Structure 1
Amino acid sequence: MTIVQGHKQHFLVLDGMRGIAALIVAGLHARELMIGGRLLDHSYLAVDFFFCLSGFVIAYAYEGRLASGMRLATFAKLRWIRLYPMIFIGALLGGLVLIAGRKDGIIVPTVITIGTMLLIPAGFFFRKQAYPSDNPIWSLFFEVIANIVYALSPRLSARSFGALLLLSALGYVAICYAFDGMQLVGFDSWWSFAAGFVRVTFPFAAGVAIFRLGLHRRSGVPTWLPLIALPALLLFPIASQAIADAVIALVCLPALVVLGARTAPAAALAPWLKALGELSYPLYLLHQPILRVVKNAPHIDVVRSIHPLLPPLMGIILAVVASAIAIRVYDRPVRKLLTAHLGRVAA
């Protein structure tokens, strides 16, 4: 069943869905790096699922506290402690991999890595993507922006918030049309980076709306339904990228967040779903540098000759193991240390 911590529920099925989405992103990058070919599925929309889920979780966790007078500095401190340690280690690991590759010397990868640590899209200055050392960090930039705007914005009336949802949905459709889908929006160029502000607005606001409308309060949904529906939706090949991306992001992904929030899992599944949720964030930020190491490892062609899927599978398994280790030896201890130094108010 759903765990209740204090006065707040812990949505275990959403945890599991978050972990599944992170594995889908890792699989996407493994295919791109080691197999190639045109994508016909919509696995990149896992990021939009993250945005929607984040909007719901942030509103659920903080809306009451912000309305009761929580200071922006306190909110920012809490979010920084939660997000930044893994951003730092992901950027550092990715930067070391870039430097080891020796393709651009040492200075360029170092500048890119420092920029990534500061969430600056320094790759654009060198005719690369926004964050070449660890590309998934682009979505964390927009996550941070969405969090700040949410905390700064006064509580909108239902009519004003509805107008925001409608306008952001129209903007999302326009971006889908302009870029022929969302696959490269947010990181591929200055224009796509600017479009990322539009990309994050609707799903994050939709997540907030799910909380404000109370759509998460009912239960009775079978556990398997959202857990199977998410990968089925994102991995099913559909030829028309732009139209399909818009429909999936505007309708299907918010509906899946609602289903996941309403679902109470069987007790036997609870530890697995919790573990998937905990693994999702470090896996999201560590998998790409590890995949690059595996791709360029000595004798990897011998492994590939056995079966072309073995190298990407090895990379994903190594990323999962590294993420599990990072949780225990790095993320938890560092966040505990930061909480202690930054004050008990951030506990």
Structure 2
Amino acid sequence: MKAELRALTAVRGIAAWLVVLFHIRLSLPALPAPAAAVIDKGYLAVDFFFLLSGFVIWLSWGERLRIGGLGAAPEFLKRRIARIWPLHLVVLGFGLALALVLLATGREAPHFPLGELPLHALLIQNWGFTGALAWNDPAWSISCELAAYLLFPLLVLAIDWRRAPTPAILAAITALLTLLHMIFTLQGVAAQGDHIPRLGMVRCILEFASGTAVCALWLRWRERWRAPALFSSAAGIAAIGIWIVGLLPETLTVPAAFAALLLALALTSGKAGNPLEGRALHYLGEVSYATYLGHFLLWFAFKLAFVSDARAVAWPLIALYCVLVLASSVALYHGVERPAQRWVNGLSLRRPRPFRAPGSGSAHG
């Protein structure tokens, strides 16, 4: 197992909180225009998650699956399921409790369609089976991640980034993200976060695959990191600037910018003076999956309990909600996510050998 890149863990925590703020943006009091603009685009953090996921999975499992072949795939999938599924089921159970409370008190629960619950429990809700987000909205991306995990062993066996020349890897990233842009454009979609039930899967798969190629570049350049880090940082910032001024569309520039910035962050991880290496930010990243998966339904329940006008929530209540999100993230991480992960990872996928009494060997032995 490769050593952790702490800066990437920290950025994951920051990205998760951008998603939190995005989901409560319509309830926030007035903000300065730049801050409001950033929060309005908080859904783009999911694109960074997909790229980061491909990077980390390639780093952790690419070599193991290449050596073990498809025979190593069950262990890989078991460990990925251990990572995403138990916490998802617990949070979905909280959503079911909310739905039952609403129905028991005579209120409608249109966001909790009981007929779709099995799809959500199996994490296949965003595989083309539903036409709208429901239950725990952020879990759509986890549904797509599960599909990416199922495809990943085939990707490893089909492509060995180690043998590809650097220009070919850069061309592959460009081609994947250009294809993503073309698909969105052909569908008449200008924003990455639109039409998630229809386009979320392709968004995940192509960015996940791009993330694996970004990891290949990091593995190639990590020892002579300064020039590549400077170039990728400049490229990412330039792409963001081009998008902000409206010269190129979001669906083309933002994934490319995030890929470049992911490479820069990885190359500078662990270097002296990196502000993302601090303990607090790192811990925020460690509990970020619980933050990401738990905040949406917590906000739903919070509004039921404390909010009379969802479009005018005072700062003290916003602060209280954020404290509850952080506290619940810590509780879910230590009380559910990690213990369940250890338990599932400890399960053996090997069939036990049949018991043979002494002297009962084969007649041909």
TM range (shorter): 0.7 to 0.9
Tell me what 2:98 maps to: 97
Counterpart of 1:329, as a letter, is G
| CA-based RMSD | 4.0
CA contact (8 A) 1:56 1:204 kept: yes
Deviation at 1:151, TM superposition (A): 0.9
1:21 aligns with 2:15: yes
Tell me what 2:152 maps to: 150
Deviation at 1:172, TM superposition (A): 1.5
SS at 1:9 equivalent:
coil
1:340 aligns with 2:346: yes
Tell me what 1:61 maps to: 60
CA contact (8 A) 2:180 2:251 kept: no
* 2:337 aligned to which of 308, 331, 336: 331
After TM superposition, the score normalised by the length of structure 1 is 0.78
CA contact (8 A) 1:168 1:201 kept: no
Could you give the per-residue CA deviations for residues 271-321 of structure 1, whole angstroms, max 9, x where no partner exists? 2233122111111100000011111214x349987x634434332321111
Give the greater-gyration-radius structure (CA).
2
Tell me what 2:6 maps to: 12
Deviation at 1:109, TM superposition (A): 3.9
CA contact (8 A) 1:291 1:312 kept: no
1:283 aligns with 2:284: no
Tell me what 1:260 maps to: 265
Could you tell me how far apart the structure 2 residues matched to 1:156 and 1:122 are?
26
Could you tell me how far apart the structure 1 residues matched to 2:29 and 2:12 are?
25
Could you tell me how far apart the structure 1 residues matched to 2:247 and 2:330 are?
34
Could you give the per-residue CA deviations for residues 165-215 of structure 1, whole angstroms, max 9, x where no partner exists? 44432322124432121122423xxxxx2x223212332122111222335
Could you tell me how far apart the structure 1 residues matched to 2:111 and 2:18 are?
33
Could you tell me how far apart the structure 1 residues matched to 2:20 and 2:126 are?
23
Could you tell me how far apart the structure 2 residues matched to 1:113 and 1:216 are?
45
Question: Relative to 1, partners in 2 of residues 1:206 and 1:124: Cα closer, same or farther, differing over 3 Å?
Answer: closer
Deviation at 1:80, TM superposition (A): 0.9
1:246 aligns with 2:252: yes
CA contact (8 A) 1:111 1:122 kept: no
CA contact (8 A) 2:55 2:212 kept: yes
Question: Relative to 1, partners in 2 of residues 1:44 and 1:240: Cα closer, same or farther, differing over 3 Å?
Answer: farther
Counterpart of 2:294, as a letter, is L
User: Within 5 Å, which residues of 2 pair with 1:95-244?
Assistant: 95-102=96-103, 103-104=107-108, 109-121=113-125, 129-130=132-133, 132-153=134-155, 154-156=157-159, 158=164, 165-177=173-185, 178-187=188-197, 193=198, 195-213=199-217, 214=219, 217-218=222-223, 219=225, 238=244, 240=246, 243-244=249-250
CA contact (8 A) 2:86 2:340 kept: yes
Could you tell me how far apart the structure 1 residues matched to 2:247 and 2:194 are?
12
Tell me what 1:30 maps to: 24
Question: Relative to 1, partners in 2 of residues 1:259 and 1:321: Cα closer, same or farther, differing over 3 Å?
Answer: same
Tell me what 1:47 maps to: 46
Question: Relative to 1, partners in 2 of residues 1:336 and 1:86: Cα closer, same or farther, differing over 3 Å?
Answer: same
1:308 aligns with 2:310: no
Counterpart of 1:78, as a letter, is R
Counterpart of 2:79, as a letter, is L
Deviation at 1:106, TM superposition (A): 10
Could you tell me how far apart the structure 2 residues matched to 1:242 and 1:260 are?
24
Could you tell me how far apart the structure 2 residues matched to 1:111 and 1:33 are?
30
CA contact (8 A) 2:26 2:311 kept: no
- Unaligned 5+ segments in structure 1 are 1-6, 188-192
Question: Relative to 1, partners in 2 of residues 1:15 and 1:85: Cα closer, same or farther, differing over 3 Å?
Answer: same
Could you tell me how far apart the structure 1 residues matched to 2:138 and 2:301 are?
16
Tell me what 1:4 maps to: none
After TM superposition, the score normalised by the length of structure 2 is 0.75
1:76 aligns with 2:74: no
Deviation at 1:121, TM superposition (A): 2.2
CA contact (8 A) 1:86 1:331 kept: yes
Could you tell me how far apart the structure 2 residues matched to 1:216 and 1:276 are?
28
Counterpart of 1:208, as a letter, is T
CA contact (8 A) 2:111 2:135 kept: no
Number of corresponding residues: 322
Could you tell me how far apart the structure 2 residues matched to 1:101 and 1:237 are?
43
- Unaligned 5+ segments in structure 2 are 351-365
Question: Relative to 1, partners in 2 of residues 1:262 and 1:90: Cα closer, same or farther, differing over 3 Å?
Answer: same
Counterpart of 2:138, as a letter, is P
Question: Relative to 1, partners in 2 of residues 1:91 and 1:318: Cα closer, same or farther, differing over 3 Å?
Answer: same
Deviates more, 1:86-95 or 1:308-317: 308-317
